Amino acid sequence: MATAKYPLIWRLLHWVIAIMVLAMLPIGFWMAYRGEAGLWGALTGTLYASHKTVGFLVLWLMVVRLVFRLTITPPSYPPQMPAFIRRLAHSTHHLMYVLLFAIALLGWAGVTAFPALSIAGGWSLPGMPFIPESRTLSKLLFTIHGWLAIVLSILVVVHIAGALKHKFIDKDGVFDRMSLKK
Ligand code: HEM
């Protein structure tokens, strides 16, 4: 069934952020494991540097995405879609927005408090304003960052399962609204 698509810029933002987050979650868990195991070296350093860089980019791409989300009306769902599925989809989407902002801000605040702002090639991220230098604070921020990343991982699985159900079982055009295909 043909349904109206999301605007192209929105679809592009969705897929760029999706790829970044799908890479950030395993890289984050892997590098934190290596850090805790004391496996410091070139690989761990590269994982941390790329995680910080991509995470910081996700934050600002989410700002752009939020502006679009607040200014564009999304295409409506097909009429046969049950009300509770619509509510489930809306809640999952809203919660993912909140988590992506919270996780990225906590990561940035954590590296500011530590401080561990250097990324690669002699570059550094700017520090987050008003965050004091404190190892205790950075530990707390990274603990919450990690727990929220676990919650986000669960939501990502639910979200992908829902998208695949639309594509292969319901075949109701909902998946194609976000597809980059014409
Ligand atoms: C939405 C974007 C982000 C996602 C999905 C994400 C995900 C993760 C995950 C899954 C972990 C492992 C948690 C653990 O097992 O303890 C982690 C750790 C970490 N993240 Fe992020 N992160 C994001 C953004 C950021 C940003 C923007 C920064 C800094 C600029 C950052 C810095 C870190 C650091 C330094 C750690 C390691 C903490 C430690 O070793 O205790 N993250 N992240």
Band of pLDDT at residue 118, cut at 50, 70 and 90: very high
Q: What is the pTM of this model?
A: 0.94
The reported pLDDT for the residue numbered 103 is 98
- Higher pLDDT: 33 or 75? It is 33
Q: How far is the CA of 175 from the centre of ligand 1 (A)?
A: 29
Domain residue spans in the chain? 8-178
**Given the CA of residue 146, which atom of ligand 1 is nearest to it?**
13
- Name the residue at shortest CA distance from atom 19 of ligand 1: 28
Percent of the chain with pLDDT over 70: 98
For residues 179 and 6, give the distance between their C-alpha atoms in angstroms, rounded to a whole number.
9
The reported pLDDT for the residue numbered 4 is 84
For residues 71 and 83, give the distance between their C-alpha atoms in angstroms, rounded to a whole number.
24
Q: Is any atom of ligand 1 closer than 6 Å to the C-beta of 28?
A: yes
- Name the residue at shortest CA distance from atom 37 of ligand 1: 32
CATH 1.10.760 matches 8-178? no
Q: How far is the CA of 10 from the centre of ligand 1 (A)?
A: 25
As beta bridge partners, residue 118 has 124
| Residues 105, 59 contacting (CB under 8 angstroms) | yes
Q: What is the pLDDT of residues 19-53, one digit of tens each?
A: 999 999 999 999 999 999 999 999 999 999 999 99
Structure tokens at 69: 């989300």
Percent of the chain with pLDDT over 90: 88
- Mutating to test ligand 1, I would choose from 96, 103, 119, 153 the residue with most ligand atoms within 8 A of its C-beta, which is 103
Neighbour tally for 48: CB within 10 Å: 22
